[in-house]
């Protein structure tokens, strides 16, 4: 009988485990923090999420298998571990140009084995197999228009034909350029074919790198683009990243170059390789794209349309090619997500205004003479002499694909702008008639399309491929009547669709969050740029570092930053100084400048803490150590610890803080982070070294800047913020005095900030860290200049470079530096995630989550502000969605929390709140300290209804 009972219990346990396993799944499989990446030269690492409806689910074992076709080339074995992120491949050497599949099987504390079911792949690039006989080719520059030093705006077509005499099994092409290029085979544009048989295109190939050191190549499966028999390949190359205006002569205007390798495998196992060379390729400058430049736009003459990318094209009038010997760097596989169209953000014009000339009024420029108005339309008729102004309702980055019908030789111009002139008044900064495009802030960027029609009776379609625009408005003119059959705005970005979100009961705060998302989308174009519209668009390092954590909360940009840090290393000087911008272009911007160069320390640390990715620390540790040596060399006869250069300081601050003070603070910050990174990498000696360095900087800081207890000789908001953030005061008493002084500075400024790029980036975060979240809410909800909501009241749909880039009262700011899409001030969104919603990590990578929302319990509301009473936030962490939702209802607060499987959390609230249930139902423990209640939770979903004490 006992045997029967034991057998029955065993069956029930196994059955229970099976039921539990059915409700657990493995999803979101990633390699190197990307989904199914193609063309990897780096060693792969594997990550996955666990989905479970139960609470307290922890992975206990994992087993990864990697397959080459049906052959297992790596079996990790059944590893006892809860790790599910960044597991390094350690199997047989991977073959070049090979597609591998992989699967992970896990066990959890409540289930048996669970296998991943989603299709998970990665494909290696050329690895060490090299480019074989492939050459860099260039146009045979007998033509004087292609003299060295005159490449900006130029374009070249390269083509070759080849015969495939057997049945094709597979084909891969590896493609790169000096400049921007587009690629075609047999008349079709090349991209990645999706499972829905659609094509996903990479834009602005091969992406921006410092071509003194490296260029990227991209990999495409072109099996379905080829056919048995005669085939043709064509590449269109423009000056773009290498020789365009954006390069600012950094690379000495190299001739436009192209390089490719196509490997075709036949069904009989044999292969054929086609490469760029001086024998089989030809070139021409006589194509449809007459001019292309990132700053200036494109000139496109559709009358030159030919079938040059198809087989049997007569290219007898084309030039030969010669070898391009300019590039001496490294060609490596593309890192991160390429620039792509965001299909989810396609936008039609909210309003189209047709005007015919101008009408005089009592202003300098007058006003447009509007004759027609349409709403929410993609099509309309435009007569000769008329002008159409399209308002897409959102400042965005991309272009406007257009389908048009009209007479041959018709000339069309499309211009782009972020704003319209609000009046014809010159003293308000307008540069044209009321209702026309405001263009002055573009500076020297022409930012326009000139298109000449070929007169196709069925209409013709166009969108640019070698430039982009930052705009809300587009203006169209034509010298003959045209029918615009369709036009819309297409958004491009290196940021994939976001899964994180913030929603509150305050629509203006929601708008601020959305504006920040749009700023990130529009400025993450191959590199984290400062602005997307004028003749700048640089990877300014301070903008990057102050916004990095916000960006990582918003979206998965781990590989994007990993790529950018390569640009930073490429720009590092021999003395260790990191560049001010990366890729390095403008030489006049300096090197080793405080807060800018320090991005080389801050960004790797930020990426690591948000993702748990140690690789970025390992890749950059030597460069970071070299930079720390550079900082150590900056001492003078008075002080040992000066930090970096003092060119910029707290950029655009309303109240200036001494720039040397800023550099000393950033040196201290670097020391703190280097000690932490050394600890993460088990570099014990360096931990001690950098901890001691921080103590030395702190001691000298106090002699240099502290004039009495808790009082600085820099009486600015930014000065106190950095001293508090970095714990630079010698005692709790001094710290408390400093907090009081900071609060007094804010109160005396009518609860307005006076900080610049650097101070604003840490303002609310530091206030909440020192227990002053009430003041953080005062600043968040401030509406006067300067404040986050002030620009929203002036009509902002993105984050602006200046708080008052435009004001309803006074008009436009100084056009020399007045971007209406500049994400840096959006760093407050970090505070919204980490403090307002309370989502933070106790370790690197959010395995141990902290949910500690800072509720709006203000007793005094300045300037007729209203309380934030509800915040609903989700953060797409590397382990899955973390959700924090709180709502104040009278004397009660309702909390709803979701913690992803394979993680745990501490839910922390003020001790005055009551109503917690006992341990159980996912609650591991409830404890209290002097001012907080700490509830330890396993994974799962939880609801708490707590009472606020009087």
Can you read off the two tokens belonging to residue 314? Answer: 């007569």
Contact between 657 and 701 under an 8 Å Cβ cutoff? The reply is no
* DSSP strand pairing (180-185 vs 87-88): unpaired
Question: d(Cα 573, Cα 527) in Å, to the nearest integer?
Answer: 20
Contact between 592 and 645 under an 8 Å Cβ cutoff? The reply is yes
DSSP-derived secondary structure letter, 69: T
CA angle 91, 92, 94 (to 5 degrees): 105
Which residues belong to the active site? Answer: 536, 801
Q: 76-85: long-range contacts at Cβ-Cβ below 8 A with a sequence spacing of 24 or more?
A: 82/58, 82/847, 82/902, 83/59, 84/47, 84/48, 84/49, 84/50, 84/59, 84/879, 84/902, 85/47, 85/611, 85/612, 85/613, 85/845, 85/878, 85/879
Which residue's entry shows tokens 């939770």? Answer: 937
Question: d(Cα 364, Cα 555) in Å, to the nearest integer?
Answer: 46
* Count of CB atoms situated within 10 Å of the CB of 866: 10
Contact between 114 and 107 under an 8 Å Cβ cutoff? The reply is yes
- Residue 23 — left, alpha, or beta (φ > 0 → left; ψ -120 to 50 → alpha)? alpha
Find the distance separating the first CA and the last CA of the chain, reported in whole Å.
Answer: 62
Contact between 231 and 309 under an 8 Å Cβ cutoff? The reply is no
Instruction: Output the 3-class SS for 248-314.
Output: CCCCCCCCCEEEEEEEEEECCCCEEEEECCCCCCEEECCCCEEEEECCCEEEEEHHHCCCCCCCCCC
Which residue's entry shows tokens 């003194």? Answer: 212
Question: d(Cα 46, Cα 104) in Å, to the nearest integer?
Answer: 9
In whole angstroms, how far apart are CA 301 and each of 287, 449, 451, 455, 759? 8, 11, 6, 11, 49
Question: d(Cα 649, Cα 669) in Å, to the nearest integer?
Answer: 15
Can you read off the two tokens belonging to residue 519? Answer: 């700023």
State the virtual CA torsion across 592, 596, 601, 606 in degrees, nearest 10. 180
* Count of CB atoms situated within 10 Å of the CB of 881: 16
* Count of CB atoms situated within 10 Å of the CB of 165: 8
From the list 37, 72, 806, the residue with the least C-alpha distance to 441 is 806
* DSSP strand pairing (45-52 vs 71-75): unpaired
Question: d(Cα 171, Cα 262) in Å, to the nearest integer?
Answer: 7
Can you read off the two tokens belonging to residue 102? Answer: 């992989």
Can you read off the two tokens belonging to residue 265? Answer: 């495998």
Question: d(Cα 237, Cα 206) in Å, to the nearest integer?
Answer: 11
H/E element holding 760?
Answer: helix 757-769
From the list 543, 528, 502, 357, the residue with the least C-alpha distance to 432 is 357
Question: d(Cα 869, Cα 810) in Å, to the nearest integer?
Answer: 34
State the virtual CA torsion across 438, 444, 445, 446 in degrees, nearest 10. 70
Contact between 608 and 616 under an 8 Å Cβ cutoff? The reply is yes
């Amino acid at each position: 009988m006992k045997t029967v009972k034991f057998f029955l219990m065993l069956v029930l346990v196994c059955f229970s485990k099976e039921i539990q396993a059915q409700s657990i799944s493995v999803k979101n499989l990633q390699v190197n923090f990307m989904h199914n990446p193609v063309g990897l030269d780096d060693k792969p690492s594997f990550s996955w999420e666990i989905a479970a409806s139960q609470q307290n689910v922890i992975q206990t074992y994992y087993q990864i298998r990697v397959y080459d076709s049906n052959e297992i080339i790596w079996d990790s074995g059944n590893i006892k571990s809860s790790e599910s992120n960044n597991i390094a491949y350690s199997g047989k050497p991977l073959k070049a140009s090979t597609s591998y599949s992989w699967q992970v099987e896990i066990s959890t504390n409540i289930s048996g084995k669970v296998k991943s079911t989603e299709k998970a792949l990665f494909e290696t690039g050329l690895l060490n197999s090299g480019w074989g006989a492939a050459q860099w080719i260039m146009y045979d520059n007998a033509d004087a228009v292609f003299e060295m030093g005159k490449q900006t705006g130029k374009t070249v077509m390269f083509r070759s034909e080849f015969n495939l005499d057997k049945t094709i099994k597979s084909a891969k092409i590896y493609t790169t350029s000096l400049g921007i290029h587009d690629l075609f085979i047999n008349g079709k544009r090349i991209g990645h074919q999706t499972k829905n048989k659609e094509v996903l295109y990479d834009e602005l190939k091969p992406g921006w790198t410092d071509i003194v050191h490296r260029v990227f190549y991209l990999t495409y499966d072109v099996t379905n683009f080829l056919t048995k028999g005669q085939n043709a390949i064509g590449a269109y190359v423009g000056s773009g990243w290498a020789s365009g205006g954006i390069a600012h002569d950094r690379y000495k205007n190299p001739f436009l170059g192209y390089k490719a390798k196509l490997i075709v495998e036949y069904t009989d196992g044999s292969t054929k390789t086609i490469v760029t060379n001086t024998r089989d390729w030809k070139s021409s400058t006589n194509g449809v794209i007459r001019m292309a430049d990132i700053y200036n736009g494109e000139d496109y003459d559709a009358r030159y349309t030919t079938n040059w990318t198809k087989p049997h094209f007569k290219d007898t009038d084309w030039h030969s090619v010669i070898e391009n010997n300019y590039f001496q760097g490294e060609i490596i596989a593309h890192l991160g997500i390429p620039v792509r169209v965001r299909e989810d953000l396609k936008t039609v014009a909210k309003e189209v205004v047709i005007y015919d000339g101008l009408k005089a009024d009592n202003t300098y420029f007058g006003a447009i003479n509007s004759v027609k108005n349409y709403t929410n339309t993609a099509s309309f008729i435009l007569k000769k002499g008329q002008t159409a102004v399209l308002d897409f309702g959102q400042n965005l980055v991309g272009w406007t694909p257009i389908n048009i019908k009209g007479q041959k030789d018709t000339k069309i111009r499309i211009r782009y702008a972020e704003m319209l002139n609000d009046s014809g008044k010159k003293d308000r900064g307008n540069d044209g008639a009321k209702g026309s495009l405001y263009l002055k802030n573009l500076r020297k960027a022409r930012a326009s399309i000139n298109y000449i029609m070929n007169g196709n009776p069925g209409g013709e379609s166009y969108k640019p491929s070698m430039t982009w625009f930052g705009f809300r408005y587009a203006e169209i003119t034509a010298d003959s009547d045209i029918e615009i059959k369709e036009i819309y705005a297409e958004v491009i970005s290196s940021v994939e669709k976001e899964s994180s979100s913030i929603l509150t009961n305050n629509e203006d705060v929601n708008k601020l969050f959305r504006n920040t998302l749009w700023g990130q989308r529009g400025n993450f174009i191959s590199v984290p740029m400062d602005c997307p519209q004028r003749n700048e668009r640089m990877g300014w390092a301070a903008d990057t570092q102050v916004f990095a954590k916000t960006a990582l909360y918003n979206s998965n940009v781990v590989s994007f930053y990993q790529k950018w840090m390569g640009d930073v290393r490429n720009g590092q000087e021999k003395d260790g100084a990191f560049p001010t911008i990366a890729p390095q272009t403008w030489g006049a911007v300096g090197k080793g400048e405080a807060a800018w160069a320090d991005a080389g320390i801050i960004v790797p640390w930020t990426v690591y803490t948000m993702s748990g990715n140690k690789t970025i620390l390992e890749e950059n540790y030597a460069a970071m150590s070299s930079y720390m040596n550079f900082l150590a060399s900056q001492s003078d006869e008075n002080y040992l610890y000066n930090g970096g250069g003092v060119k910029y300081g707290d950029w655009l601050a309303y109240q200036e803080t001494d720039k040397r003070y800023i550099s000393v603070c950033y040196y201290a910050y670097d020391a703190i982070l280097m000690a932490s990174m050394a600890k993460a990498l088990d570099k014990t000696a360096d931990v001690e070294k950098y901890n001691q360095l921080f103590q030395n900087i702190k001691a000298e800081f106090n002699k240099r800047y502290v004039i009495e207890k808790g009082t600085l000789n820099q009486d600015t908001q930014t000065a106190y913020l950095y001293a508090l953030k970095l714990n630079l005061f010698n005692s709790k008493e001094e710290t408390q005095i400093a907090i009081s002084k900071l609060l007094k500075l804010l109160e005396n400024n009518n609860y307005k900030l006076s900080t610049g790029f650097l101070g604003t980036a840490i303002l609310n975060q530091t206030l909440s860290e020192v227990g002053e979240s009430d003041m953080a809410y005062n600043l968040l909800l401030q509406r006067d200049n300067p404040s986050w909501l002030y620009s929203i009241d002036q009509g902002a749909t993105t984050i602006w470079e200046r708080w008052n880039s435009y004001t309803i009262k006074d008009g436009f700011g100084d056009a020399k530096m007045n971007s209406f899409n500049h994400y840096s001030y959006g760093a407050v969104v970090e505070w919204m995630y980490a403090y307002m919603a309370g989502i933070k990590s106790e370790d690197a990578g959010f395995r141990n989550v902290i949910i500690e929302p800072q509720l709006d319990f203000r007793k005094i509301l300045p300037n007729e502000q209203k309380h934030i009473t509800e915040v609903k936030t989700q953060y797409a962490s590397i382990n899955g969605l973390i959700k924090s939702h709180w709502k104040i209802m009278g004397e009660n607060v309702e909390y709803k929390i979701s913690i992803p499987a394979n993680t745990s959390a501490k839910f922390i609230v003020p001790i005055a709140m009551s109503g917690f249930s006992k341990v159980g139902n996912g609650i591991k423990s409830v404890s209290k300290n002097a001012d907080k209640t700490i509830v330890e939770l396993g994974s799962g979903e939880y609801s708490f209804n707590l009472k606020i004490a009087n």
